[in-house]
Amino acid sequence: VALFENIQKKIPAVPFSSSSSPKKDGFIEFPINDEYSIYPLLRFADELGKTIGLNKVQKGETEIALKELISNVLKHGGGKGIARLRIDKSQIPQLEIEVEDWGKGILDVYKVLDDGYSTGGGGIGGGLPAVNRLMDSFKLISRPNGGAYFRAVKMASPENLASDSIWRFSVYSQPRVSEEENGDGYFLRRGGKNTVVALIDGLGHGIEAHYATQLALSNIEKFHHWNEEDLIQLLHEKLHNTRGVVIGILKTYDALGYVRYTGIGNIFGVIVGKKNVSFLNYNGTVGSRLRKLKSIEYPMENDAIVALHSDGISMSWLERFYEVWKGNLQSFTRDIIQKFGRKNDDATIIAGWKK
Ligand SMILES: [Mn+2]
């Protein structure tokens, strides 16, 4: 069973696993037979969208996703299927779409989600990647005996998550002395109400480390909204011809009192606050040796600092925190590199401050 799941927005108090056993309660079903099957679906989705307060953009995105899902059934899913729609108001109000077909299934679930990949048959090739990008959550299951299942969710803007706290970030990176290419890399992307941070250290240093890290970055660029466990699994597959990387991924949420961290190998992560907490990393190397891993949530109070850095920086700064912390993130990251950076390795630090 090939499974892919992508949840872009954190829903408070709902475990991730809840979406893997969807109940059929409250769904309205629509048969998919031909190109006209889309019209009743679009009308009903529009009605449901109004009920939960989707705005114009959200309704437009849902419409495109629906069209792509139905067109996928017609072109690649054997031409027949079923679509289901319902709304759920129990948490953040949301419109849920399920589509099933009885075609051949999907051989490579990651590949069909790559932008520019075409499943052939004259499609524009942007179908499923577009659904993945436009919806707040997207899941697909390809069954071993044929057929595919898709689930996509559009959430109304969660006004109740309005926030009074602000995250700031600063990054500082330098390659090993005498080396031109940096084997470290970082990713920092601010979403609506959350931020995705990744720190990557290619094994060793120099051009090959640089190559592995850049390949990881180009995939994170495309798939940063996936849940972190799936993202690291994807990177592991994409990097199998490289020397591999270690990686730490951090997600922060403006309105929530925690951050989520997922890490493999030698990346140092810590929250410096009333109490210091170090992040747990799993053993392994992305690209060559990876066991099952889990994201972990860590409480984070306002005014705390979070820092991720590569092993090119000595961890001893933590005991001498007030020599480098002057209430300014930029000077903090620069001073850490200058005072605690090792000359014989690439060194990178990303620090965040929740004010
Ligand atoms: Mn290193």
pLDDT tens digits, one per residue of 83-134:
999 998 876 789 999 999 988 887 776 677 766 555 444 444 458 888 887 8
> 245 CA to middle of ligand 1, Å?
9
Q: Is the confidence at residue 39, as pLDDT, over 90?
A: yes
201 CA from centroid of ligand 1 (Å): 6
pLDDT digits (tens, 9 = 90+) for 131-167: 887 887 787 777 767 788 898 989 887 554 445 557 8
Q: Residue 203 C-alpha to ligand 1 middle, in angstroms? A: 6
Distance 348 CA to ligand 1 centre (A): 9
Angle at 279 between CA 276 and CA 284, to 5 degrees: 155
200 in Cβ contact with 231 (< 8 Å): no
Contact 266/311 with Cβ under 8 angstroms? yes
Residue 162 has a pLDDT of 46
Q: 323: pLDDT confidence band, cut at 50, 70 and 90?
A: very high
Residues above pLDDT 90, as percent of the chain: 54
Give the separation between CA 211 and CA 209, rounded to whole angstroms.
5
Q: Is the pLDDT reported for residue 7 higher than 70?
A: no
Residue with more model confidence, 15 or 306: 306
The CA angle 274-276-279, to the nearest 5 degrees, is 140
Mean pLDDT rounded to a whole number for the chain = 84
Output the pLDDT for position 38. 95
Which residues does residue 186 pair with via DSSP β-bridges, in sequence order? 199
User: Ligand 1 centre and the CA of 170: distance in Å?
Assistant: 20
Residues in the chain, overall count:
355
Q: What's the gap in Å between 213 CA and the centre of ligand 1?
A: 11
Distance 312 CA to ligand 1 centre (A): 5
Least confident range of 18-22, 72-76, 303-307: 18-22
Using an 8 Å Cβ cutoff, are 245 and 239 in contact? Answer: yes
| Model pLDDT, residue 3 | 52
Q: What is the pLDDT of residues 210-256, one digit of tens each?
A: 999 999 999 998 898 888 999 999 999 999 999 999 999 999 987 78
Residue 188: the pLDDT is 87
pLDDT at 6: 56
* pTM given for the model: 0.61
Percent with pLDDT over 70 in the chain: 85
- How far is ligand 1, taken at its centre, from the CA of residue 259, in Å? 24
Query: Can you give the pLDDT at residue 161?
Result: 45
Residue 305 Ramachandran class (φ > 0 left, ψ -120 to 50 alpha, else beta):
beta
Provide the residue type at 162 as one letter. Answer: A
pLDDT at position 183: 92
Query: So what's the pLDDT on residue 15?
Result: 28
